[in-house]
Structure 1
Amino acid sequence: MFGSVCKEAGYLRLWIAAAISLGLTAHDAAFAQTGAPPMDVGVVTMAKQEVPRILSLPGRAVAFRQVSIRPRVSGVVEKILYDPTKEIAVGDPLFKLDDASYAAAVAEAEANVATAQANATASKASYERSKSLEGTATSKAQVEKAQATMATDEASLKSAQASLDFARTQLSWTTIKSPIKGRADVASVSVGDLVVGSQSDAMTIVTTLDPIEVTMQESSTIILKLRAEVEAGSLKITERLKAKLTLETGEAFASEGNFVAAGTTVTTTTGTASLRFRFENPGNKILPGMFLRGDIQIGTVDAFLVPQRAAKRGNTGLLTAFIVDKDNTAKQVQFTEKGTYENNWVVETGFQPGNKVIVDGLVAMRPGVKVNPVPATINADGLVQDDASKPKTEK
């Protein structure tokens, strides 16, 4: 029994020693933490400013003009007159049809006009002669008959002339010309093919590629919110809308687009409305059907610019960032963005003028951590620079 008591006393001494050791360790750790110097962090001071409001929208290129070329008269294709690799001007010939029958029709119509002209000339002379002899050698009835014959022959002449004009028009249609400038696809017909006037199949398609138009889509929900912001006065609309494009490769397109028109309906499948812009397209870099991204400056707002590198999106979908609170401690704040501008979030609420947003040292950042704020700027590449304009790496 004595041995058992001694054994228990030994366990008690070990437990007390361990507790004391743990207490000292915790105290030392706490002392080390409170005694550590504040972490140097780069900060950007918040100030409201007039910021362009940019809408970033998906878009698709559509042809400025596009025409399906079909024959207006029937005939056999004799020649294909264009090069698909070269630009076509308005009025350039594309196809030549066999015109023998149409040339013959013109010759026949010309003969009919000549006959009608001769008849009209003769009947007019007869009428004038009868008119001069009326009451002596010619009766009134004869004069009236001569007048009627003259009128009939003049009408026949007009009819013959109209037939000649139509025959000449049909002959001209045997040379099929482009009504617009642009590029023509490879012909869908070959020399020797028979084509029929007003057939449904196109012989080729001519497309104007410069300029090019881009249709962009925005949800009706966003449109209603923007309208509410305009009515509230927080969004000042730009007088003339402009757009910039980003290609599928991520490359920025050089030309700036002008607003053409807005859609008047919302699609039932996607709930979006369309906006169309027109761009100069030198070198035909953009082709119809390409998917693009458009940035539209719709106006300006008074807002804060929060560097994107300073914020991350939480599980709730809201963005969070750290600011320097009183006593130089880090405080986490949540905010909702109203779009982006360059490397910044556009934010209207959630910050106060003078707030210092922490832009680096974020890996180890936690609420309540002591910090030493150092003024910093963000360069065009989104990198933090101190007052000496030297890029700083993430801590």
Structure 2
Amino acid sequence: MRPFAHLFHVAALVAAGWAASPALAQMPGGGGPTNVGVIELDEARVPYSVTLPGRAVAFEETDIRPRVAGVISEIVYEPGTEVEVGDVLFRIEGDTFAADLAAAEATVASAEASVSAAETTLARYESLSGTGVTAETVENARVTLAQAEATLSSARAARDLAQLNFDRTEIRSPITGIVDIANVSVGALVTANQTNALTTVTRIDPIYVDVQESSRRVQTIRDRVEAGTLAPGENLDVSLQLETGNTYAMPGTLVTGGTSVSTTTGTSIFRFRFDNPDREILPGQFLRVDITLGETPAILVPQRATSRAADGTLTAFIAVDGVAEERTLTETGVYQNAWIVTDGVSDGEMLIMDGLTNLSAGAEVQTVPVTISEDGVVSDVATADASEDTAEEPATETPDEDG
């Protein structure tokens, strides 16, 4: 086929396709009804979701401080690594504490010897009581033994304290988590329970995300549940949006609901927990939490079939007995590419999807069934069926002239 003839052939096919597609509106003024594409509205149980901003909070976080005074002799850990409960982080010079412990142990040994001697004396006096040993002497021996035992108890307590202080020369992690860089160096002098922390250990797997919700909205949701217009699910479906807009792979669970309302903001804090094995979420990050609370009976009206006035009124056209009627819609949010409509349209009515240009209330219309894809693309039902049939039709081979 010649090039120019081919172009004319393509143009003719395109023109024929436009003419054969009733979903595309005819311009008014032709004297007849306007062709419009319609879909039948169905009532469905639509997931009811809310999206709340929040901040990531560490699951556990603790500042590491010395419990005894001394000079840092060693920093044991590597910053940024994960440590377990009981791992040694710092060491303080322990010579003085070791000497105190040795002295305390010697005092205990001396006190034990005194108790042993007092017990022997008391036993001998009790055996000789009435035969040259007076009752007063026996009583004095009992008092001496009691004093020796008291001295031994005090010595043991001092030894235990010395042992505790010696053990505290090794500063250990009280939790499992990621250890931060050290705020001191080897040779630094530290004091017991000082204000400045030596470092920080943070556990971020799992991690919390705190969100705030107004008490008014919480009450509105409760009212809808009580009225039966919202059926709560058995469990909350909680997902997380990262700062990049991507959806986090791990689902979340509610840890605690709001137990109080802020007097300044009128909001309550809700805490959610997410697994965070790859440390993708860090404390302080700004995130968004999507929460599916349940299902609500509503009609989904594609957004492309609606228009919103300057005052915020949402409207759409319905085909009734060959006439276009403009309806005011009451919506409670968005699901996929459609408005969640609770009032203004009814189940089974024909929503005008195509041919809306210059369409006005009361105009005569000729309806043609259409479909809408997930991407919001409208096409004729007949055209879509024909396309599917063509795609399913097996290919045939055309024999050549020699065959």
The alignment's TM-score, normalised by the length of structure 2, stands at 0.82
Is the aligned partner of 1:350 residue 2:359?
Answer: no
Native 8 Å contact 2:229 2:297 kept in 1: yes
The 5-angstrom pairing of residues 371-390 of structure 1 reads: 371-379=366-374, 381-384=375-378, 387=381, 388=384
Native 8 Å contact 2:370 2:378 kept in 1: no
Any idea what the Cα deviations from partners look like across 1:121-146, whole Å, max 9, x if unmatched? 11111111211221223211111111
Is the aligned partner of 1:326 residue 2:321?
Answer: yes
Q: Greater CA deviation, 366-375 or 137-146?
A: 366-375
Measured on the aligned residues, the alpha-carbon RMSD in Å equals 2.3
Native 8 Å contact 1:330 1:371 kept in 2: no
Any idea what the Cα deviations from partners look like across 1:11-58, whole Å, max 9, x if unmatched? xxxxxxxxxxxxxxxxxxxx97133673342x4322222222111111
Which ranges of structure 2 fall in alignment gaps of 5 or more residues? 1-26, 389-403
Q: Structure 1 residues 75 and 363 mapped into 2: Cα distance closer, same or farther (>3 Å)? A: farther
How many correspondences in the alignment? 358
Any idea what the Cα deviations from partners look like across 1:61-103, whole Å, max 9, x if unmatched? 1111111111111111111111222212111111111111111
Identity %: 44
For residue 74 of structure 2, give the secondary structure of its aligned residue in structure 1.
Answer: strand
For residue 308 of structure 1, report the CA deviation from its aligned partner. Answer: 3.2
For residue 278 of structure 2, give the secondary structure of its aligned residue in structure 1.
Answer: helix
Q: Greater CA deviation, 252-261 or 166-175?
A: 166-175
Q: Structure 1 residues 89 and 34 mapped into 2: Cα distance closer, same or farther (>3 Å)? A: same
Which ranges of structure 1 fall in alignment gaps of 5 or more residues? 1-30
Q: Structure 1 residues 303 and 63 mapped into 2: Cα distance closer, same or farther (>3 Å)? A: same
Q: Structure 1 residues 136 and 383 mapped into 2: Cα distance closer, same or farther (>3 Å)? A: farther
Any idea what the Cα deviations from partners look like across 1:216-267, whole Å, max 9, x if unmatched? 1112221121121122122222333231111111100011111111122222
Any idea what the Cα deviations from partners look like across 1:274-295, whole Å, max 9, x if unmatched? 2111000121101111111111
Q: Equivalent of 1:123, from 115, 118, 127?
A: 118
Any idea what the Cα deviations from partners look like across 1:170-201, whole Å, max 9, x if unmatched? 11111111111111221111111111111111
Is the aligned partner of 1:89 residue 2:88?
Answer: no
Aligned residue in 2 for 1:194: 189
For residue 142 of structure 1, give the secondary structure of its aligned residue in structure 2.
Answer: helix
Q: Greater CA deviation, 200-209 or 231-240?
A: 231-240
Native 8 Å contact 1:242 1:259 kept in 2: no
The 5-angstrom pairing of residues 64-83 of structure 1 reads: 64-83=59-78
Is the aligned partner of 1:99 residue 2:94?
Answer: yes
Q: Equivalent of 1:158, from 142, 150, 153?
A: 153
The 5-angstrom pairing of residues 303-342 of structure 1 reads: 303-327=298-322, 329-342=323-336
For residue 368 of structure 1, report the CA deviation from its aligned partner. Answer: 4.4
Native 8 Å contact 1:337 1:345 kept in 2: yes
Is the aligned partner of 1:250 residue 2:245?
Answer: yes
Matched residue type, 1:68: D
Q: Structure 1 residues 124 and 220 mapped into 2: Cα distance closer, same or farther (>3 Å)? A: same
For residue 189 of structure 1, give the secondary structure of its aligned residue in structure 2.
Answer: coil
Matched residue type, 2:75: I
What is the rounded CA distance, in whole Å, between the counterparts of 1:307 and 1:247 in structure 2? Answer: 27
What is the rounded CA distance, in whole Å, between the counterparts of 2:142 and 2:269 in structure 1? Answer: 66
Any idea what the Cα deviations from partners look like across 1:302-361, whole Å, max 9, x if unmatched? 11122233334332223323333330x443322232233333322222210012333445
For residue 34 of structure 1, give the secondary structure of its aligned residue in structure 2.
Answer: coil
Matched residue type, 1:171: F
Q: Structure 1 residues 129 and 185 mapped into 2: Cα distance closer, same or farther (>3 Å)? A: same
Q: Equivalent of 1:224, from 213, 219, 226?
A: 219
Q: Equivalent of 1:179, from 159, 174, 178?
A: 174
Q: Structure 1 residues 385 and 65 mapped into 2: Cα distance closer, same or farther (>3 Å)? A: farther
Q: Greater CA deviation, 71-80 or 252-261?
A: 71-80
Q: Greater CA deviation, 335-344 or 147-156?
A: 335-344
For residue 284 of structure 1, give the secondary structure of its aligned residue in structure 2.
Answer: coil
For residue 58 of structure 2, give the secondary structure of its aligned residue in structure 1.
Answer: strand
Q: Structure 1 residues 254 and 151 mapped into 2: Cα distance closer, same or farther (>3 Å)? A: same
